[in-house]
A and B are shown apart, each in its own frame.
Chain A
Amino acid sequence: MFGQRLTRIIGPSLLVLSILLTGCTRSVGPMDWLGPVAGDQAEHQRWITWYLLYLGAAVFVFVEGWLLYSIIKFRRPLGPSVLPPQIHGHRTVEILWTVIPTLIVGAIAVPSVPAIFAFAQPPDEAGALRVEVLAHQWWWEFRYPDIVAGKTITVANELRIPVGRTVIATLSSADVIHSFWVPKLSGKVDVIPGRQKNQIWFNAREPGEYYGWCAEFCGTQHAQMRFRVKALAPAEFEAWVRARLSPPPEPQGAARQGYELFGARGCGGCHTVEGTPYQGKVGPNLTNIGERSTVAAGVLANDPDGRGLFRWIKNPQEVKPGAKMPNLGLSDADVGAIVAYLKTLK
């Protein structure tokens, strides 16, 4: 009879748990790292987590089952009670339930220790693509140093990488501590200001656009410090590098007017557009803003008609209160012209 009651409790709870867990095998969204992922490290982390979840579920069912069973079996709701046997302890069971958790801990440590060392050592160091990440309150700067003999590409908030190749990123911060995290590709590594430059490596097994997010609280707009990693086929990536190294097109028509305003309204004081006199270093480099999928550090879609850019430039403080970009009080016409110019930068 006790056995029956026990099954009545444990059976359904195992069922509910397994339904909950199988629910997680499909991808819930672009940040979900428990469903299908795209990087070697993320895959490794995913299966270790699944292993932990199953072990944890077993422990959960065992302990909670024992607890519930005891409550149901030994409760005395009413009436005068008899004194139960006064048991003070039992040496053998104490040893048993010290040894069993120790074994479980061992079973967890065994796969996790090699993984710690594997994650610390990038595979294929010689052939890896090296990038520098410089985190700012509240946006990301990415550099490809010496990508072609002596030439460096600088972009903001969107990192392009070739599929299949290991990427080694060196992380540094211009202000406070941030954390670099692209859940579909790998776990996170903190970005520390000062001399400690952390490294993270990752790769993408298939082409696609992966979400990145600052994962360490870094002040007012921490929540909107996002980025994207775009994995391209190797040939596409090479073409992109060549395009980046050539000067931007000469602005025409409305874009020409926007180009002038970009200087006249002071945008160029903070932002760089390569191949132009605008060489500001305070804000993101805008040389390829026209081809990025987002603006304002992954916050607004950079849609083809320029609505996202318009909304951002018109009033950045409405989109990201506290952001370092001020509201310049530009007229709609001026903003429109600047957007037209920026859209040509690809």
Chain B
Amino acid sequence: MSTAVEEHVNSTGVDNKKLMMWIFLGSDCLFFGSFISTYLVYRNRSLAGPYPNEILDIPLTTVSTFVLLMSSLAMVLAVSYVQRGSQVLGRYYTLATALLGLVFMGFQVYEFSHFAHLGLTPRTNIFGSTFFVMTGFHGGHVTFGVIWLVIFAVSRLAETMKQKLLIIGSVFSVIIAMAGTMMTHTLDVIPNIPTIVAFSVFGIGLIGTIGSLYLLKNSDNQNIETIKKEEGNLELAGLYWHFVDIVWIVIFTVVYLISANDGAPLI
């Protein structure tokens, strides 16, 4: 069965899939724009605590913002290397993007559970409602992006079954390592786990991640002709991923930096 896609002649003179992606991103601007506007409209109007100045943790969120920025850099490098016909580096950076996205999701899971421990849920006050809906939908976008990238890396950028299994293995190892981190008493997302178990789980995950990435590096299989065909499809995933990144840039500024000092309303 041939899966080659013919270039269609159209009135715009650009790739249809890419055009569709940009239209979708334009509409997604409105989607997130409405959430961010709602947050700003209801800013400083919560009648009960916890208020933003009591729970928002700027250093932690700066680190997670940095992680997402670096995943964006890895994504653009992946597209760049695939364009240059380097399958190994293209695959590596695509996987790095997905793994950094997973780490960002780990930060968000910790943040949500930490807020819930402190008494902030979507039902607590108007800050909780607007905050969780906005960041939750962003987290949903990141989750979708990670799934997209992993499926793409497995189905298009890996050639042998060994490489496919190593990519899936590295993803699960990172999830196990993050689960181990969350079992520790410092984070306490998954409660009542003995410290030794938490560290063992973290260690297993870390060894799995490093091991699978090392083995993937050593299973090189350069096939330049097949990789260049994937450039357009990977670029679509890249556009989506960068969009998720710029949405977070805006959320980080509006929610965290600008309104982190908000307290009880001045009525």
Task: State whether these chains interact.
Answer: no
